[in-house]
Amino acid sequence: MKTTSIDKSYGGTQGVYINRSEACDCDMTFAVFVPPRAAEGKRPVLWYLSGLTCTHANVMDKGEYRRLAAELGLIVVCPDTSPRGDHVPDEPDNWQFGKGAGFYVDATEPPFSANYRMYSYITDELPRLLAAEFPVDMDRQGIFGHSMGGHGAITIALKNPDRFRSCSAFAPISHPSVSGWSKPALRKYLGADENTWRAYDTCSLIEDGHRFPELLVDQGTADSFLEDGLRPDELRQACEAAGIPLRLRMQEGYGHSYFFISTFMDDHLRWHAQRLEN
């Protein structure tokens, strides 16, 4: 692991690091905020997964999480959204696929299967590195994210309910198998058999029996991707049918940007802290 920067913030440290990923066969960048209370012992860890076109830096620069994370004693981890490098296959003119758009899947279709293994990177490789290098309590983990990252957070939590104590999302892609901006990506990463997509689709996972104790989702009513891309009503219906408590808050007038995310970031941090401390 290589440290690229360390800055003091709210008594803690905001660091940016690079590791050579075996899962993605490239160098991967990630950010970690460590609160001052980590000097007293291991702290709960909260994963934030970013959306399409983003890197680790978007939430780090615009998410406004450090003040309250320091107060609550939360370690916040912000990974990148895809593999990177000149050798990584890409579609440079397509912002919904390739670099910046890994969709947190393990691709099975060549040439993408060689690098686009974000699910394994997030659930296996990076946690092992964090446990070795940072004062994290791996028995107290939460996960949240935005848009494509909200999709990633909920699907990962549904498939790993024994690992994560809490899960929330900002404007998640709730049903990527049918959404206009994610269906083409799943086909390229996972192949033409849509049954294989179900393992990376929140609504499908719930239909197939996966469960999580409770979810918090914030969604802006002025989000331009609301109807076709995000489909929160379908998430609501899936959770109701399965008996999963879902707190879906439709936030009047808010869009899809970090103006929206930063407004409700404190609510999400407190949601996770309550569940990670108990």
Residue 9's region, left for phi above 0, alpha for psi from -120 to 50, else beta, is beta
Residue found under tokens 């910046």: 100
Whole-angstrom Cα Rg for the chain? 17
CA-to-CA distance for 253 and 249, rounded, in angstroms? 12
Q: Choose, from 210, 223, 268, 272, the residue flagged as catalytic.
A: 223
CA-to-CA distance for 180 and 174, rounded, in angstroms? 12
Q: Choose, from 50, 147, 177, 182, the residue flagged as catalytic.
A: 147
Angle at 49 between CA 43 and CA 55, to 5 degrees: 115
The gap from C-alpha 186 to its chain's centroid, in whole angstroms, comes to 17
Residue 92: what residue type?
P
Q: Where are the alpha helices (DSSP H) in the chain?
A: 57-62, 66-72, 118-120, 126-133, 148-159, 183-190, 202-207, 232-242, 258-277
CB–CB of 75/44 below 8 Å? Answer: yes
Q: Is 146 a catalytic residue?
A: no
What backbone phi and psi angles, to 5 degrees, belong to 117?
A: -125, 55
CA-to-CA distance for 205 and 141, rounded, in angstroms? 21
Q: Is 179 a catalytic residue?
A: no
Q: Choose, from 175, 256, 268, 272, the residue flagged as catalytic.
A: 256
Q: Is 147 a catalytic residue?
A: yes
Q: What is residue 157's three-state secondary structure?
A: helix
Residues that are catalytic: 147, 223, 256
